[in-house]
Amino acid sequence: KAGVTQTPRYLIKTRGQQVTLSCSPISGHRSVSWYQQTPGQGLQFLFEYFSETQRNKGNFPGRFSGRQFSNSRSEMNVSTLELGDSALYLCASSLELGAGANVLTFGAGSRLTVL
């Protein structure tokens, strides 16, 4: 059974650019959540999608957005990149809605460097 697949694994952008990250969940998993991990702040919740709808959102500015497609694949977008957006972006999938109630399986992450 394939795990959670995230692409790209590594990317370098400059300030002001925008980036799109992709996540394919485990087959049969309908919930996808996104996290930002940095050495200083740890793992922080960005948002969760279920049935193509955003169900939960963390405390991040509107520059961070996402969507989910009918096949449960999800993308997140960060516009007008800032240096502080450099981080490891992790996607996690779970069977049902509610990141807190279900076991999360994480992808390998997309490491974003903003110069």
Helix spans in 23-85 (H): none
Q: Does 58 bind another protein (CB under 8 A)?
A: yes
Distance of CA 55 to the CA centre of its chain: 14
CB of 106 to another protein, least distance (A): 4
CB of 46 to another protein, least distance (A): 11
Residue appearing with tokens 């919930």: 31
DSSP class of 8:
-
What token pair was written down for 112? 């974003």
DSSP class of 57:
E
Residue appearing with tokens 């996607």: 91
Only segment of 10-18, 22-30, 33-41, 69-77 that touches another protein (CB under 8 A): 33-41
Q: Which of 26, 64, 107, 114 binds another protein (CB under 8 A)?
A: 107
Q: Given the rule CB under 8 A, which residues bind another protein?
A: 33, 35, 41-45, 48, 55-56, 58, 90, 97-101, 103-109
